[in-house]
Amino acid sequence: NLDILHLNDWQTGLIPLFLKENDMRIKTLFTIHNLAYQGNFQKGILELLQIDEKYFNIDGIEFYNNLSFLKTGIVYSDFISTVSPTYAKEILTEEFGERLDGILKARKDKLVGILNGIDYKIWNPEKDKNIYKNYSIESLDLKKENKFYLGQKLVLDFHQDPPLFGMVSRLATQKGVDILVEALKDLSKKEEIRVVILGTGEKNLEEGLKALEEEYKSKIRVIIGFDEPLSHNIYAASDFFLMPSKYEPCGLGQIISLKYGTIPVVKETGGLKDTIDNFNDYTQCGNGFSFDEYSSEALANTIKRAFKVYNDRTKFYNLRKVAMNCDFSWENSGKKYLELFKKMMR
């Protein structure tokens, strides 16, 4: 008695085809979190899956002589969604379309972008049991205690109160770690900066970051791996949060950091563009700092802008309050999904 099946990513991509094959009139919504993960397999798997070869063509499930689970979901679902409005537009282009932009353009009238949300019961500095000192928008001064605690834990000196830039991420080129390494080489020589990075990923990027830590021991800490309590403490302790992603379907780090009064520094792409408004020094509007060109120079210049605002304590305090008042809860996203479900049932 199902009305709608909400499917997620390539692992579920064959389901709409199986429903069609069995004449089961259940509506399907297929959500794509990252178009790069496609589930492509050799044609020989058709027999194992008992899929008729009549579907194996350019308008169906065939993708460069392979079977693509992701393409199958795109072709046979009633509606397709992705995790931000901007990413929904980006994947229609050759640059971001991962060779699927053609079929997505053919189905663009059935494609929508709905932002992910976060659970503020988990991500809330007022109640977070993982952080050293709880605080709220009314007690923002207490946030600094988390910074000094993290400094003691990681042996970083914060006595002159330099800005702390945090990052919790997969260490991959997609996440902009390559341009971050280059930007930090320049900034660490000239600026009184502190950086804490937690993550694991591509070996060459891990090594590049560890080499920076070795060269600038008083300024940079790189923890390879993942530590849940430490990740919460980085969000709570940092003044700024780094997300210079080459592309980012949605991103949750910037949304979490806003709630913790930790100002995001992001590249304008995907969900980062939808959630972060670039701070204007004259109107004092915005909730973070962003840049458009994917380069270490653009990132370094944006970090320098953040520095400038940090040094104006009144301006920075007000920016933090704006950030903490942003609402990216699942309640808002849920309403948009309900609207889509109703549209699908008409």
What average pLDDT does the segment 247-267 reach?
Answer: 98
Q: How far is CA 289 from CA 68, 130, 305, in A?
A: 38, 27, 8
Q: Provide the 3-class DSSP secondary structure of residue 97.
A: coil
Within 10 angstroms of residue 290's Cβ, the number of other Cβ atoms is 24
CATH class for the domain made up of 4-117+331-345: alpha beta
Residue 50 tokens read as 């008992």
Task: State percent of the chain over pLDDT 70.
Answer: 100
Task: State percent of the chain over pLDDT 90.
Answer: 98
| pLDDT score, position 159 | 85
Q: Where are the domains of the chain?
A: 4-117+331-345, 137-324
| pLDDT score, position 111 | 99
Q: How far is CA 178 from CA 182, 202, 206, 221, 245, in A?
A: 7, 10, 10, 17, 10
Q: How far apart are CA 322 and CA 244, in angstroms?
A: 21
Mean pLDDT of the chain: 97
Q: How far apart are CA 155 and CA 163, in angstroms?
A: 15
Q: How far apart are CA 302 and CA 299, in angstroms?
A: 5
- For the cut 90, the answer to whether the pLDDT of residue 45 exceeds it is yes
C-alpha dihedral (197, 199, 205, 208), degrees to nearest 10: 40
> What is the pTM assigned to this prediction?
0.95
| pLDDT score, position 37 | 98
CATH number, span 137-324: 3.40.50.2000
Instruction: Please check whether the two domains, 4-117+331-345 and 137-324, share a CATH topology.
Output: yes
| pLDDT score, position 129 | 97
- For the cut 90, the answer to whether the pLDDT of residue 228 exceeds it is yes
- For the cut 90, the answer to whether the pLDDT of residue 1 exceeds it is no
What's the pLDDT tens digit per position in 118-159?
999 999 999 999 999 999 999 999 999 999 999 999 999 888
| pLDDT score, position 136 | 98
What's the pLDDT tens digit per position in 153-212?
999 988 889 999 999 999 999 999 999 999 999 999 988 999 999 999 999 999 999 999
